[in-house]
Amino acid sequence: DLQRQFWAAMQQCNAVEGPCLKSCEDTDLDCFVIDNNGFVLISERPQEMGRLLGEADGALMKQLLSMGVFSRVTMYDYQAMCKPPDHHHSAAESLFSPLSAFLMVARWLLHECLLFLLEWSAWGSWQDKGSEAKSVFHHSHKHKKQDLLHPRDTEYPVFVHQTAIQEANGIIECGGCQKTFVMQQIPRSNLLLLVTDRTCDCSAHSPILQEATEVKYNASVKCDRMRSQKPRRRPGSCHAFHPEENAQDCGGASDTLPSSPLLLLSLGAWLLPPQLLW
């Protein structure tokens, strides 16, 4: 166990001094081992491991940033998927009558049933077992939930340790007390050891998170970005088959045809006049 070995090593000093006067097991000290991107690898509290140091101790991370121990770099994700903003309807909407509410529920049920039957028919599931039909139905609903996400460009902060600074110490002002800390790089690694004073409460400082935010473009910049994106290049050769491929292992969905009556019923359900709902 890396954490157990680390705590044992922290209690060892040189042969002349004997046991250390202070160790990370003392109740008045907090010890962290973080990597060069500020993520906690070892902590006395297991719930903090794997999280960003700014989440566990925002005051300490802010001080390290101001001292230049860490630098903030903005990264961009051009393939992110975001939820659209919620549209809150007004409370002054007209009330439904019992008949219109019943018709709306019936229309929804009809649409769901027809959609299920169309998918079942289109993929040749009339001869399959009921379990496969449930799988198709579950897949269609899962696909609907995924359709709620839309592609967006996002940006998020990344924190990088400046390797020129291998040791640092300082004092953090936290209202009615001062919090001292010491930072030292662990030799032959990308890890940093942080020891802070636990007796001073700095929870009033807001945490530093690594949250992604959507990049807002104006119309001209968005247009330029779409023009500058390079189109995808087609592969130089075509590999439509393989000599070791057995075509009988493939499904027979290509041999089935969608049911025309079901398709017409589904289209008719969507074209119901809205007056029937009022």
Q: Where are the alpha helices (DSSP H) in 123-259?
A: 130-146, 219-228
Q: What value does the mean pLDDT take over residues 176-186? A: 91
User: pTM value?
Assistant: 0.57
Instruction: Please report which helix (H) or strand (E) contains residue 31, including its range.
Output: strand 29-34
pLDDT grade, residue 126 (50/70/90)? very low
Specify the higher pLDDT residue, 183 or 103.
Answer: 183
Q: Give the residue among 58, 65, 64, 45 at the shortest CA–CA distance from 203.
A: 58
Q: What value does the mean pLDDT take over residues 133-139? A: 49
Residues with Cβ < 8 Å from 160, sequence gap 6 or more? 36, 37, 70, 71, 73
Q: What value does the mean pLDDT take over residues 255-263? A: 61
pLDDT grade, residue 92 (50/70/90)? very low
pLDDT grade, residue 277 (50/70/90)? very low
Residue 168 is predicted with a pLDDT of 93
